[in-house]
Structure formats: C-alpha cells, structure tokens
Amino acid sequence: MHTLPSYLDPQHLGPWGIYLQQIDRVTPYLGSLTRWVETLKRPKRALVVDVPIALDNGTIAHFEGYRVQHNMSRGPGKGGVRFHQDVTLPEVMALSAWMSIKNAAVNVPFGGAKGGIRVDPRTLSQAELERLTRRYTSEIGIIIGPTKDIPAPDVNTNEKVMAWMMDTYATNIGETATGVVTGKPISVGGSLGRREATGRGVFTIGTEAARRTGLSIAGARIAVQGFGNVGSVAARLFSEAGAHIVAIQDHTGSVANDKGLDMAALQAHVAAEGGVKGFKSAQDISSSDFWSTKCDILIPAALEGQITQDNAGLIQAQMVIEGANGPTTPEADDILKDKGVLVVPDVIANAGGVTVSYFEWVQDFSSFFWSEEEINERLVSIMKKAFASIWDTAQQHKVSLRTATYIVACTRILTARDLRGLYP
Ligand code: NAD
C-alpha cells in the first residue's frame, strides 16, 4: 500500500480533506456503485501552469495558475475561475469536486472543474489583469473548449474577464467559440438572467424548503451575510415575497432593523458607500449580534468557513440556506444538527448560477437566445425538481440534506462511470 500525498489524505484539514470526509459519509449509501467510489477521491486531471506577465513598470512577474478537471463522466468540465492570493492546488481540487456534485445534483450534463490563479488582483492594473487573464487562458487552452471544459466567473472574476478568456481562446483556435466560457456579457453570447440566477436559485430552494417545513415566507424573518451578487438578489426576492430582512452583514459591518430593511434604499446606500455600514434606516450591530439575530432563515452568502464552532451556537434560525460555497465547517454542521436547525447545502442551494450557465452554453451552441421569462421559468422548474428528489432521499434514508444531495449526485456520477466502463 503506497502512502497518499498529504492533500489526498481525508485527515488533511482544508477544503479537500472536508470533501473527502463528505465522500466517506455518502459511501454506505452507494450500493454496488461503491466499486467506483475511488474515482471521486482523485481529480481526473490537474494542470498547474506558470503565468508570466510584463508589469506596467517593465518588470516580469510570475503567477501560479491551475485548472482541475475533477470528473467528466457526465459531460465536459464546468466550473469557475478564481483570482485570489490564497488559491492553492488542493483548494481548486475541492472546488472542482464540489462542481461535480453540484452539476449532478441539478442534473445538468456537465462534469466538475475549477480554475484559479494565486494572485491578489487588487494589486494589478486593468491592463495587467487583462494580460494575466489572456496568458492564463492560453496556458490552459490545451484542456478547455466548448465540448471539453467550460470556465465561468468566481471570486474576483467577472463578465469582463470572461470576455477576455473567450476572445483569447477564439483567437488561438481561429474560430468563433462563444461556448468556451459562460457568464459572458450579453452582447458576446451571454444569457439574460445569468447575473441574478444564483440569488434566484437560493430564493427558489429556500421557498421550497420553507413550504415543506410549514414556514410561511410572507412575514418570515431573514438574516443575510453578504450583500453582493448572491446575497442582494436573494434578499430582494425574499423581501418582495413578503419576508422581513431583519439583518445584513457584509465586509464593512452589520446592520439590523426589526421591522425589515428597505432593500431598494439599502442597495442605493451600498452603491454609494461601498458597504452596508452606516445605513440610515437601520441600527449598526456587532458581528456576534448579527449571528444571534432572532430569525427564521439565515443565509450565509459571503465566503467559505463563516459558520464555525465559535458562532454556530449563537444561531437562532430554524433554517440555514447556504448561498456561499462551503460557508459551514463540519463541526458547525454537527452543532446545527444537534440544535435542530435545517441546513440546505450549497451544492443545491446555490446551483442556480450553473443552471443558467448551462442555458447560456446551450444558447451559444444553437446561436438562438431565449427571453428572460423563459430562462427564469426553466431555472425554477429544474431547481424545484432537483430539490424534491433530494428532500425525498433525505426522508427515505433519514440523513441530512447535505448527505442526501451527495447520495443523489454521486449515484448519477458513478452510474455514468459504470455504464461507460474503463478504457482500455
Ligand atoms: P460578491 O463578491 O458579489 O459578494 C460578496 C459579499 O460578501 C459582499 O457583500 C462582501 O461585502 C461580503 N463579504 C466579504 N467578506 C466578508 C466578510 N469577511 N464578512 C462578511 N461579509 C463579507 O460575491 P458573490 O458572487 O455574491 O458570491 C458570494 C458567495 O457565493 C461565494 O462563496 C461564491 O463562491 C458563492 N457563489 C456565487 C455564485 C455566483 O453566481 N455569483 C454561484 C455559486 C456560488
């Protein structure tokens, strides 16, 4: 028996170790497919690239870039690209594996992939950022493509970065290739509804979970961490459905209003001031007061590792809907379970973004674009169907929604693996 590299060891602390523990937890439910489970514990392919760029001052800087294709049994790789100073290979491996699970959970025909560059993009000018993006795209160009692996935005990457990636790839192969990335601007093959899709998915799944537990959204009290793309859209949709958004936290601070915050006014305040802190029609509160807000639903929609053993005990919500990726540590998950808090996991709650990315990819292939109404209708229908099968699986096996999502997703991935067989 050979020893595993430390990051393939389930005891290794960090996102990849957490992912491996999640796979161990689901293994007893996989029946004869257990034969294939080892496939899920290793990425299919991991590419590490050097990304050299000329800085504006004429010197050359080198950055480390990654693209990991975790599993492609169900279709091409799909997952975002992150620019962050803390990006590491094991982190990208975990993020790519979670994409395999997420894509299978909503049953879109993709495998899982993820990419990133270890860089603090705030230290670069726009021109440097463009050179970095284009060189990275060229370097990973040997493994990406509309039928191979399709990147998308993630932390610190956006529509503009996707336009550069698409242009670089298309220029290199000498063809139009809008389907090589999703999350593009509308005018170069992007999809209507993509920007709001993740928040809309969080709202849809939250509403479905509430209905099944007898909680009425009208009048429900909701606290949201993160008021960016995901948090602000989810908060607005819940508020429009009659819920009271009683507290919000972002990187500038936490604000609360017991009668409910005015979403349009808060959005205007954030646009002007860069954060929620100091919003007039609210009280500024401490971070621990935010976590202990008396509410029905708590939506972490900022970063990973936010609900930990230090603050999980403070939470008073009946339900946590994970808008962010990996916001709850395994220790906090256990504390919430003991308190009877229902946790709706990221791999289903925030899958609305990749679902509309799938629509964008389909529209790019057919060069025929759908209305926003069609997009939203199809999004809601896919999310509701996916959640129903996860809910039923949780009831049937008496397991958490997280384990149930893994049962549904891993069964789909490994069934595909089993049917395809091994080559040679
Ligand atoms: P964003 O950059 O638009 O917003 C992030 C928000 O989090 C901001 O309001 C910021 O102030 C807040 N924040 C940052 N640091 C914080 C801190 N230390 N404490 C409290 N708040 C803090 O990002 P986003 O696109 O909304 O993504 C949020 C999360 O959702 C991430 O985990 C991301 O991976 C996940 N996600 C996003 C999408 C998508 O389509 N955008 C899809 C799936 C998952």
Q: Which pLDDT does position 4 carry in this prediction?
A: 55
| Amino acid present at 13 | L
Give the pair of three-digit tokens for residue 114: 């993820």
Active site residues: 114
> How far is Cα 36 from Cα 413, in angstroms, rounded to an integer?
10
Give the largest CA-CA distance in the chain: 66
> Ligand 1: which of 250, 261, 284 to mutate, judged by most atoms within 8 Å of the beta carbon?
250
Q: Which pLDDT does position 388 carry in this prediction?
A: 98
User: Three-state DSSP class for 55?
Assistant: coil
Which residues have any ligand 1 atom within 6 Å of their CB? 154-155, 198, 225-231, 249-251, 301-303, 323-325, 350, 353
> pTM to 2 decimals?
0.94
β partners of residue 300: 225
Give the pair of three-digit tokens for residue 424: 């040679």
Determine the distance separating the centroid of ligand 1 and the alpha carbon of 82, expressed in angstroms: 12
> Ligand 1: which of 91, 198, 311 to mutate, judged by most atoms within 8 Å of the beta carbon?
198
> How far is Cα 109 from Cα 104, in angstroms, rounded to an integer?
8
Ligand 1 atom 18: the closest Cα is on which residue? 251
Residue with tokens 């975790």: 70
Q: Which of 236, 216, 229, 205 is nearest to 157 (CA)?
A: 229
Determine the distance separating the centroid of ligand 1 and the alpha carbon of 4, expressed in angstroms: 33
**What is the full per-residue pLDDT of the chain (424 aa) written as tens digits?**
455 555 555 555 688 998 999 999 999 999 999 999 999 999 999 999 999 999 999 999 999 999 999 999 999 999 999 999 999 999 999 999 999 999 999 999 999 999 999 999 999 999 999 999 999 999 999 999 999 999 999 989 999 999 999 999 999 999 999 999 999 999 999 999 999 999 999 999 999 999 999 999 999 999 999 999 999 999 999 999 999 999 999 999 999 999 999 999 999 999 999 999 999 999 999 999 999 999 999 999 998 889 999 999 999 999 999 999 999 998 999 999 999 999 999 999 999 999 999 999 999 999 999 999 999 999 999 999 999 999 999 999 999 999 999 999 999 999 999 999 999 9
Query: For 321, which DSSP code?
Result: E
> Ligand 1: which of 202, 205, 251 to mutate, judged by most atoms within 8 Å of the beta carbon?
251
Residue 184, sorted as left (phi over 0), alpha (psi -120 to 50) or beta, turns out to be beta
Output the CA–CA distances (angstroms, integers) from residue 324 to 215, 225, 228, 244, 306, in the order listed.
22, 9, 11, 21, 9
Determine the distance separating the centroid of ligand 1 and the alpha carbon of 60, expressed in angstroms: 31
User: Could you give the strand order of the β-sheet that contains 77-84, starting from the edge strand earlier in sequence?
Assistant: 45-54, 60-71, 112-118, 77-84, 149-153
Q: Which of 11, 19, 387 is nearest to 205 (CA)?
A: 387
For residues 413 and 73, the answer to whether their CB atoms sit within 8 Å is yes
Determine the distance separating the centroid of ligand 1 and the alpha carbon of 255, expressed in angstroms: 17
